[in-house]
Chain A
């Protein structure tokens, strides 16, 4: 398991950086997710307390936005772009093949916590469609076979992140 157990005081430190104004709710949730990888029930409770809101209000806002997730994520996050240019260029085929290969649907994580599959509405690199993000690296002008190769390479090498500056 790569998910860090987050000490309560770290959670507190993130939250205390924000004022008690409701307008801070979304930025606060964004920072919490940055630190935790997802929005945990403790994070919801802490945010609610800080801003004087009910937990259900915090949850209702968080669940509205696609950015927030409520389950731990895998070591590798694969995001397929679902923009129009990517669709026209065969992006849907790439996504369905990834689903088949990993055995999960978008939004889900493999049981070994290795991969999380997700989609993004459009990352704005339409001229290089179809586009897939693996962790922070963007693969442009890509194809199903290239993405599957990249995933296979990572599996083999056991690397957790292919990010580059």
Chain B
């Protein structure tokens, strides 16, 4: 094995730079500018920071970081003063940001009432620490280890926090087989959804006889409701790139592809920048770190097809064809891209692989359950207080995530269901919240881990409508190659649409169940095979809602347009005219000052704008 050079020097230099940054005597201001931050206005906060610093004549280092996971509090700004822990402030506005900088840096008042938590050693009176913060308590961050801590555009930040040490260890101390053995020992399973053992997958590809092999990172996160891959690529791209290089070394590939959605423009540009930087530091390209190992990564932008998340469809797309899956075997490990052995892993899997190589298998293996090791990342969204990205040990009970980390359901409503795993997953009712979040328990409940989207739903969500929504998604995204998926899901969607219109028949329920069985067992790929899951789980746990739609022609949650009507609660309405102005159908008329408005049901198109604008809760849905 040729000697690996340069890395220790690079590491020492990066660590020294990092120490200078975090121990510097000038204040350090960090701002989350991932997509979620930008959507909430982080760029205007960044401008305000610059203007405030100029105005006050202050010197400070400003670093743009990725998302820490607390998306609900975006935009988030952190301030670290010398000798003090970093303080995180949420719900920023340009005014607030300027005021906090002045109050804290100039006058020494950390404004605890505006702070979310402190990060790092030490405590500030009145502010919870990282470990005490409800949303962060109980999290173990492996795939998200650097998100929100480092500037994703600076490779040195990543290296200073232990980055590329796993690759260095692999290249300098381990044979490819030993790398695979370590991954196998760690118990890492594919985080893309199916949970296939990663070590075994790498082994298949290594054992395949061919001089040309490929590694692909599947970053085509098409699952509606999941955004963890985007967040990792935007906040810590090098952890994924390092994982790809390690995988390539293990299986013997000289070329790799990162297939990323074009709908994530920030992730695409961050990743491209990171790849260039890795190449400049001899971590990619010819003769990596002097080890004699050559490897290159190409970035391929997806073109908007959900089915391309399926590995054989993804391969077809890279080859410049329609993204249509093919039957397996042969598996990609034997015959993949251009007929050569190909290994495909998800973003999270690769980010975890680089952690495992740096921290050894035992640390990872000690987390989780007997069969599901390590941690899982979830994107919490829907009707829940703390929306954002979390990472917990496998097997953590669902209720701990919803009520502990997620902070429960807002507006005094109660949890009705949790949708896990996107269009391939299922809806679990509130009384199932004791189940553990690991591959086995989820499959038993009828849902799946999927890519980890988790949508909380309260009593204002109709489960029949949710099932219809997922079916319409699958119907739109089906590639059309196999009949069960193309026509079967069409039939299921027709039936569900009929039920939500109030034209359902009792025999529709057994018909849906039999269609689901056929589609599940005869579809070509997992998109079709798992598409009935949302219908099956809602039928299993919320059958009474289907029956209310069919028999009583009633939508209990007040969602399905054909079955609801809006009324004005006369006791509550004071005739403020907000809804009169907003109503696009001119269905509401002003009756007089202090008198309730009048709603013409014939004109009403049930768009719900009146419900949105009413501040008095005077619009009722029945």
Give me the interface of A with B, judged by CB distance under 8 Å: 21-27, 29-30, 51, 60-61, 64-68, 82-90, 92-93, 96-97, 100-101, 120-129, 131, 138-141, 143-145, 148, 164-165
Is the CB–CB distance between B381 and A127 below 8 Å? yes
Is the CB–CB distance between B607 and A144 below 8 Å? yes
Please name all residues of chain B whose beta carbon is closer than 8 Å to the beta carbon of A82 when the two chains form the complex: 224, 473
Please name all residues of chain A whose beta carbon is closer than 8 Å to the beta carbon of B321 when the two chains form the complex: 22, 61
Is the CB–CB distance between A83 and B305 below 8 Å? no
Nearest Cβ on chain B to A55's Cβ, whole angstroms: 15
Please name all residues of chain A whose beta carbon is closer than 8 Å to the beta carbon of B184 when the two chains form the complex: none
Q: Roughly how many angstroms separate A26 CA and B9 CA in the complex, as a whole number?
A: 41
Asked if B4 is an interface residue, CB under 8 A from chain A, the answer is no
Q: Roughly how many angstroms separate A117 CA and B36 CA in the complex, as a whole number?
A: 23
Assuming the contacts A87-B469, A124-B227, A165-B43, asked whether A23 and B319 have C-beta atoms less than 8 A apart, the reply is yes
Interface CB pairs A-B, < 8 A, 8 = A100-B607, A120-B304, A121-B224, A125-B36, A126-B225, A127-B71, A127-B379, A145-B612
Give me the interface of B with A, judged by CB distance under 8 Å: 35-36, 38-40, 43, 71-72, 74, 221-227, 230-231, 262-264, 300-301, 303-306, 317-324, 379-383, 387-389, 419, 422, 453, 455, 457, 461, 466, 469-470, 473, 477, 479, 582, 584, 605, 607-609, 612-613
Q: Which of B221, B303, B479 is close to A26, meaning CB atoms less than 8 Å apart?
A: B303
Assuming the contacts A85-B455, A125-B227, asked whether A101 and B584 have C-beta atoms less than 8 A apart, the reply is yes
Assuming the contacts A67-B304, A85-B225, asked whether A125 and B39 have C-beta atoms less than 8 A apart, the reply is yes
Closest to B223 in A: A122
Nearest Cβ on chain B to A47's Cβ, whole angstroms: 10
Assuming the contacts A127-B71, A140-B40, asked whether A65 and B222 have C-beta atoms less than 8 A apart, the reply is no
Is the CB–CB distance between A88 and B320 below 8 Å? no
Assuming the contacts A23-B319, A90-B608, asked whether A123 and B263 have C-beta atoms less than 8 A apart, the reply is yes
Q: Which of A60, A84, A93, A140 is close to B422, meaning CB atoms less than 8 Å apart?
A: A84
Is the CB–CB distance between B607 and A65 below 8 Å? no
Is the CB–CB distance between B608 and A144 below 8 Å? yes
Q: Which of A23, A88, A123, A128 is close to B74, meaning CB atoms less than 8 Å apart?
A: A128
Is the CB–CB distance between A127 and B317 below 8 Å? no
Is the CB–CB distance between A100 and B584 below 8 Å? yes
Nearest Cβ on chain B to A137's Cβ, whole angstroms: 9
Closest to B460 in A: A88
Nearest Cβ on chain A to B426's Cβ, whole angstroms: 13
Assuming the contacts A67-B303, A85-B382, asked whether A124 and B264 have C-beta atoms less than 8 A apart, the reply is yes
Is the CB–CB distance between B584 and A125 below 8 Å? no
Q: Roughly how many angstroms separate A127 CA and B419 CA in the complex, as a whole number?
A: 15
Q: Which of A29, A87, A92, A126 is close to B227, meaning CB atoms less than 8 Å apart?
A: A126
Is the CB–CB distance between A100 and B263 below 8 Å? no
Count chain A CB atoms within 10 A of each CB in B35, B303, B453 and give the residue with the most. B303
Please name all residues of chain A whose beta carbon is closer than 8 Å to the beta carbon of B224 when the two chains form the complex: 82-87, 121-122, 126
Closest to A90 in B: B608
Is the CB–CB distance between B613 and A138 below 8 Å? no
Q: Roughly how many angstroms separate A144 CA and B305 CA in the complex, as a whole number?
A: 27
Is the CB–CB distance between A68 and B303 below 8 Å? yes
Is the CB–CB distance between A89 and B262 below 8 Å? no
Please name all residues of chain B whose beta carbon is closer than 8 Å to the beta carbon of A51 when the two chains form the complex: 320
Q: Which of B39, B380, B389, B584 is close to A97, meaning CB atoms less than 8 Å apart?
A: B584
Assuming the contacts A30-B301, A124-B227, A145-B609, asked whether A67 and B382 have C-beta atoms less than 8 A apart, the reply is no
Q: Which of B221, B322, B387 is close to A127, meaning CB atoms less than 8 Å apart?
A: B387
Count chain B CB atoms within 10 A of each CB in A29, A51, A124 and give the residue with the most. A124
With A67-B304, A121-B224, A141-B40 known, 10 other A-B pairs at CB within 8 A are: A23-B319, A26-B300, A26-B317, A84-B422, A84-B470, A88-B455, A89-B383, A97-B609, A121-B263, A145-B612
Q: Roughly how many angstroms separate A120 CA and B383 CA in the complex, as a whole number?
A: 21
Q: Roughly how many angstroms separate A24 CA and B300 CA in the complex, as a whole number?
A: 10
